[in-house]
Chains A and B, each alone.
Chain A
Amino acid sequence: MSLFKEAKTLISENIRDYGMYIALFVIILTFSFMTDGLFMSSRNISNLLDSAGYIAVLAVGMTLVIVIRHIDLSVGYVAGFLGAIAAILLTQAGVSIYITIPIILILGIVVGLLNGFLVAQIGIPSFVATLAGWLVFRGALLQVTEKTGTIIIQDDRFNAIGNGYIPSILQINGLHLLSLLVGLVGILFYIYGEISTRRNKIKYDFEVVSKGIFILKLVFVSAIIAYLTWILAGYNGFSWTVMIILLVVIVYHFLTTKTVLGRHVFAVGSNPEAAHLSGINVKKITYMVFGSMGMLAALSGILFTARLQSATTTAGTLFELDAVAAAYVGGVSAAGGVGKVTGAIIGAIVMASLSNGMNLLGVGISYQYIIRGGVLALAVIFDVMTRKKR
């Protein structure tokens, strides 16, 4: 009984953090129920995650941009344009994929730094600076695809990024062995991390949750990872897109929560004046956040182009707004200084789940937009309400 009580207070005190997960859980349950389980089928989940990939990586970058009180509207067409450049390099110039990808990522960083220059150095409001970028890269995308139209990519290794799966090594009872291993390693890492943090806290005599709750949490999260792994392993296993999302999340989560750099980003977002007077180089942070955004836009372009196996003249349209929406659903605050990388990913998955589930149910596209808009508004309303409470 006391265990239940503790869990209850824990959730009500951290409702802001858990709200999103609960929302996702509700969405999944609803769709699973309404589609007779089709929604949670291996094939659909795998497909859903792959289709969320190129928005998810943008949402991670966008979250940090919004955290430092800016916005980047150019990322959609930057992704589209750089995807087209990748296609041109691979097909017309015959550059190897192992050189193409680094070149595209570096170009992305350069574009991002350019935005950073306009915002940090010249002092142009980011909305305007990146709106200019939006126009420029839309034009640039049309320019490079004008003569050829859609560029079809034949490179299987490149296309695998958007459609392929990690090799299985062995199939056990029709399950994908390497994916199972990845899931297992994930669970072990998670458990190890949680236990060592807890031990450390106890060592310093800090407050920790009771042992019962702790074990409950470990079991619960491990079970979710295990279930997801099992579902994916039942189809083709983890896709390369999922692996890339995982990598991006792990790296960015680590950077934002554990490093001095991450602290500086949140300090700048929280109060730029105070950050400057605390000896933080605000310009440098602005450059870095926009640079990272550019790199992730390039990555998004690669994922999208690989998924379509071609570069089109309209690639990247409205990606920027989908990313902004995902970031806000993921709990980033427009006032700056508040936001989480994990939130951005969940936000992107929530939005993708809505589209996917409604497609399965055969809901018309007009209603889909309306419902997604409603969810976005609800998420922000929830955020504002819980913030007031604190």
Chain B
Amino acid sequence: MSEYILEMKQISKHFSGVKALSDVNFKVEKGEIHCLIGENGAGKSTLMKVLSGVYPYGSYEGDILYEGNVQQFNKISDSVKTGIVIIYQELALFPDLTVYENIFVGNEVKNGGMVDWNKTIAESKKMLNKVKLDVNPDTLIKDLGVGKRQLVEIAKALSKDVKLLILDEPTAALNEDDSENLLELLRELKNQGITCIMISHKLKEVISIADKATVLRDGQTICTLDAAKGEINESNIIKNMVGRAIEDIYPKREKQAFGGKILELYNWSAYDPQLGRQVVKNVDLHVKKGEIVGIAGLMGSGRTELALSIFGNAKSYKVEGDLVIAGISKMLKHPSDAINAGIAYVTEDRKGDGLFLYQDIKSNISAANLKGISSNGLINDNEEIKVADHYKKSLTIKASSLEQLVGNLSGGNQQKVSLGKWLFVGPKLLILDEPTRGIDVGAKFEIYTVMNELIKQGMSIIMISSELGEVLGMSDRVYVMAQGEIKGELSIDEANQENIMQLATQ
């Protein structure tokens, strides 16, 4: 029986009358990797914000015992001083600064009031060694991939003498290789005696790395599972997370016959003048009516670029090749051309370029098809509310009203708004880019169900996804991309994790 480094006792937190946490108990033993899991809105992030002092002492009820003492953190720097460091999902790095500047930002190595840059660089090299990141400390952050940035964040935490490291969905934006690296590093840190709390939605990761896993649901602790007792397995976690057993993460759909080809690409290439290189190379591809085509591949393999080049060449690449929609060769020069041609594109980054966060649900849903609710350029407000209400109900968007700002919705509900916006366009071909990134199991299931419903109605879907399970669970046919090229096409019967990864890493 080892000692607890952290005990959170009876933590409750209210937000203007709404209970976000009620009597949560959370105990972490020294030197373990403890996963915190739960659906979006279950209270995981809130709990970690209480711990790190984002919500100061007194704004919550209950006690935090850290290394045996009750702590009263008033701000983040208080918790950092005691060795608690939190790394958020949206990394807090400065893209235009170097690696070493980022590692020591806010924690500068000083020599009589001046920054000692030589020592900084020397120290940062040590930290980079610890996280096994082989880059020159002079490199700018913006020149690093997401996976390496994540490692820089951890190096930064190490420079603060971290004892309890908290990671909020560290692998959400990473491909499988980088994820595996990161997990390996966490295991290593554990051996060095660093305790780690990891919030994750990826159950496979949790299963592979966690010593313990605590499940939160609706602001309450449901249970703590122990790997040593064999309690951490997929069905057990899901059952506790959603409070109901999901037989299958992917809803069944009946096999249906496909129609004619809705989209064909021949020798399709795109050159990005800003990057100065070819991002899509000689792609041949087709999608049939009523089909879900999965596009698998690693980050940066050109999947999003392919989607953008199809969707009216939204990023102004230099494109070559033939694009044929329903048998007719087309030139799409602007997203509006693509929309008119019956293509919709639900972006990967819903907050960044998908939604209008400061606008309400109804104006988000109507944004791509104002024609549908207006005549002679005049908007019919009532029609708009009717349309928005229709999608709110059919997609089960959970919100207090249609006038709620989209920025205040949870990730899953934001994704549904995004989906509703594009369904209202009435597309024949729907391109979904990472449709379930960062959303919880329940909302995922709902989105998959909607997808099945749509193809039943004769729509076609291109689904770009980094989650192999999702690709295998939802697609009828899979293309695998790497370095901007299609490396292979697999029917769903022949596709499996191994052959997809093999093609993706070619």
Q: Please list the residues of chain A having a beta carbon within 8 angstroms of any beta carbon in chain B.
A: 200-201, 203-204, 206, 258-261, 263-264, 266-267, 270-271, 273-281, 333, 335, 337-338, 390
Contacts and interface: CB of A to CB of B under 8 A. Distances in A.
B421 A278 contact: yes
B374 interface: yes
A277 B359 contact: no
Contact of A277 (B314, B371, B382): B314
B117 interface: no
Q: Which 6 A-B pairs have the closest CB atoms?
A: A279-B336, A273-B353, A270-B356, A278-B368, A279-B339, A260-B370
Contacts of A276: 314, 335, 353
Given A278-B421, A279-B336, A279-B339, A271 B355 contact: yes
Contact of A259 (B311, B334, B352, B377): B377
B385 A280 contact: no
Interface string B356-368: 1111000100111
A204 B334 CA distance: 36
Contacts of A279: 312, 334-336, 338-339, 368
Contacts of B358: 270, 333, 335, 337-338
Contact of B367 (A259, A267, A273): A267
Q: Is the interface of A mostly helix, strand, loop or mixed?
A: helix
Interface string B370-386: 11001001110010011
Interface of B: 311-312, 314, 334-336, 338-339, 345, 347, 352-359, 363, 366-368, 370-371, 374, 377-379, 382, 385-386, 405, 408, 421
B503 to A, nearest CB: 29
A277 B354 contact: yes
B331 to A, nearest CB: 16
Contacts of A267: 356, 359, 363, 367
Given A206-B385, A273-B352, A276-B335, A263 B345 contact: no
Contacts of A337: 356, 358-359
Given A260-B378, A277-B345, 19 more contacts: A201-B382, A203-B382, A204-B385, A204-B386, A263-B366, A267-B356, A267-B359, A270-B356, A270-B359, A274-B347, A274-B356, A274-B367, A277-B314, A278-B335, A278-B368, A278-B421, A279-B335, A333-B358, A390-B408
Contacts of B311: 277
Contacts of B312: 279
Nearest to B401: A207
Contacts of B379: 258-260, 263
Among B312, B352, B366, B370, which residue has the most Cβ atoms of chain A within 10 A? Answer: B370
23 contacts: A203-B382, A204-B386, A206-B382, A259-B374, A259-B378, A260-B371, A260-B374, A260-B379, A261-B377, A263-B367, A263-B370, A267-B367, A274-B354, A276-B335, A277-B353, A278-B421, A279-B335, A279-B336, A279-B338, A280-B367, A333-B358, A337-B356, A390-B408
Contacts of B336: 279-281
A260 to B, nearest CB: 5
Contacts of A280: 336, 367
Among A270, A278, A390, which residue has the most Cβ atoms of chain B within 10 A? Answer: A278
Contacts of B339: 279
Among B352, B379, B386, which residue has the most Cβ atoms of chain A within 10 A? Answer: B379
B357 A270 contact: yes
B394 to A, nearest CB: 18
Nearest to B339: A279
Contacts of B335: 276-279
Nearest to A336: B358
A206 B358 CA distance: 23
B353 A274 contact: yes
A276 B339 CA distance: 12
B131 to A, nearest CB: 32
Nearest to B352: A273
B353 A390 contact: no
